[in-house]
A and B are shown apart, each in its own frame.
Chain A
Amino acid sequence: MKRLLALTLFLSITALSAGLYAAETLNGAGATFPYPVYSAWAFEYSKVTGMRLNYQSIGSGGGIKQITERTVDFGASDKPLTPEELAKDKLMQFPAVIGGVVLVVNVPGIKEGELKLDGDTVCRIFLGDVKKWNDAGIKTMNPGISLPDSGITVVHRSDGSGTTAIFTDYLNGACPAWKEKVGSGTSVSWPAGIGGKGNEGVANYVQRTANSIGYVEFAYAKQNKMTYTRLKNKAGAFVEPNFQTFENAAASGAFDPKKDFYLWLTNAPGKNAWPIAGATFIVLAKEKTDSNKKVVKFFDWAFQNGDARAKELVYVPLPKSLEDKVRGYWKAHGVR
């Protein structure tokens, strides 16, 4: 009996360790924003194929650095690299999932989706030029809503972030004054307001401070049921942030495989598109064909099987048309 037990134990240990050695691992590093969805996909994928994913969410800047130095199989970045930057370091990139930014407010009496704002007004609020909620411009956009005669408190991110990069890029496109005075990037020199650390920091200040406005990731606002606003998009319609408007933004964006999908998805032209969306990208080293094929296989699987899981986590899957463009790009680069 004892011997049998020992034998089974021995066998199971050998089987287990053999299994561990057989499992292959993909190493990736980069953006923190897509980390939850990549790890959820990787979990399902490893059940199907045995391939494991080791993803370190160290930030987009770090991800680009790691793949440039070829220490990982793929890098992930919220910021698209220009075709020139990619060519310089012999890299290629494709979008993996869509996210975006929503504006959240805490104004007494205003419910979610009730307040309407346009790009110019948002821009002037964040520049500190529109100081009160009952500003004439806001009032004309929102007839029938009573706006208080109180000062607006602007809340922004204090840490460097892809969320800030997308939001400031939107402001760049929304009004020339922003582009001239502040510009866009992962950290900018904010002309007004206070800074919170991370989405949770911004959310906390907005929820605590009456008459404040801030920006957070779509997923964060949705999961925490925050009071988001509607925004006027490029086509002139006031839209709500939801899966559909984000997908519309992605579908109407001019993603071009010939330009390595370099595109900031802000102010997308679609009729019903949310104006502050952004794709998050996977960056590969051109010469690492073998590992690239494995990475591509993983994302191809995720495109086919991962939509439901992504939506559960409040990420917007790529529209089918864009997925096909990405597949074409893989083929053109001989990794699929």
Chain B
Amino acid sequence: MPIVPTGAAKKNCVDLLFSTVTAVASLTVVLLVVGIMAVLIRESSLAIDRFGFFRFLFSVEWNPVKQLFGAASAVYGTLVTTAVALIISIPTAIGIAIFVTEVAPPMLRGPIGAAIELLAAIPSIIYGMWGLFTLAPIMAKYIEPALQSTLGQLPVFEVLFRGTPMGIDLLTTGVILSIMIIPFTASISRDAFNLTPPVVKESAYAMGATQWEVVKNVVLPYSRLGVFGGVALSLGRALGETMAVAFVLGNSHKIATSFFDAASTITVTLANEFAEADSDLYLSSLYYLALVLFGLSFTILAAAKIFLLKSERKYTR
């Protein structure tokens, strides 16, 4: 009697195929990450041998002529611009999400949501050119002098607002970056807010809570994990953004204390200098810088993930 595959065996076969395909797909991604890291390490080996880890990470000197390279100024610029962007974007994005889900009349929700998401579709080079030709002059002429004459007069803040406002600086870059990441935080927060069960909200209203109290005590606690996820995603984007930043940051390898100073980030240094890097050590140092960024993003995003997992556990308990 010939063996005819039974229904169960056939199902097993399909299942096996299915699980193999998905496994291969996800393994490819893991392999890619490992491969990228391997290439970065191999290409930067020359610079690693020459400068070591701590000397490279903490040296401010970036001098292609003297062949001395250090990552400190670029790492600093990356962290500061990202921090400024997050400080501006998080409250704005959450405000937008609250408005769209709770406050705005239903007729407006669709158009506003779409407009916010359209911001994410604008290529970063456009942000860069807009920043250079439009935003930077406005910052230099109106906003930065205003900040200088108000916040800049306070004793501690004075250090942060020193110098001649040129519009090509950490602050302008932070503002551009914040505009670029607002859509991510806002749309994920909005989706998270929408997941709040209407019953819970309605109960709160029934208890006589105001709109503000409902948002503060019901919606936000309920959806904070989602909001946090949105912020983490934006953080990744801000760390790696290149083109827009290259136009408005000035690529100066110095550690600036003032928001009105030019600086540099890791990705901008790579974009600006890679094409004309004319010595092996120079090129290798640029790869090393990329490796540092790889490590930096990995650490920050891993920390965010761990924090997320922890609070999730606390929340479900």
Interface residues of A (CB under 8 A from B): 58-62, 64, 79, 153, 158-162, 182-190, 194-197, 201, 204-205, 208-209
Contact = CB atoms under 8 A, between A and B. Distances in A.
B262 A194 contact: yes
Contact of A187 (B61, B168, B276): B276
Given A183-B65, A185-B64, A204-B132, A197 B278 contact: no
Contacts of B133: 204
B145 interface: no
Contacts of A159: 246, 251, 271-273, 275-276
A14 B275 CA distance: 41
Consensus secondary structure, chain A interface: loop
Contacts of A190: 252
Contact of B65 (A158, A182, A197): A182
A249 B309 CA distance: 68
Interface in B230-285: 246-247, 250-253, 262, 271-278
A195 B275 contact: no
Chain B's interface size range is: 20 to 34
Interface in B160-177: 164, 166, 168
B276 A158 contact: no
B310 interface: no
A62 B247 contact: no
B251 A197 contact: yes
B184 interface: no
B278 A79 contact: yes
Contacts, number: 87
B278 A194 contact: no
B113 interface: no
Interface in B115-160: 132-133, 137, 140
Nearest to B68: A189
Given A183-B66, A185-B65, A189-B62, A197 B247 contact: yes
Given A194-B168, A195-B262, A208-B137, A61 B65 contact: no
B73 to A, nearest CB: 11
A62 B61 CA distance: 25
B166 A160 contact: no
B63 interface: yes
A160 B65 contact: no
B154 to A, nearest CB: 25
Given A159-B251, A188-B65, A194-B168, 13 more contacts: A60-B276, A60-B278, A61-B276, A159-B271, A160-B277, A183-B66, A186-B64, A187-B64, A187-B276, A188-B64, A189-B61, A194-B250, A196-B250
A205 B250 CA distance: 10
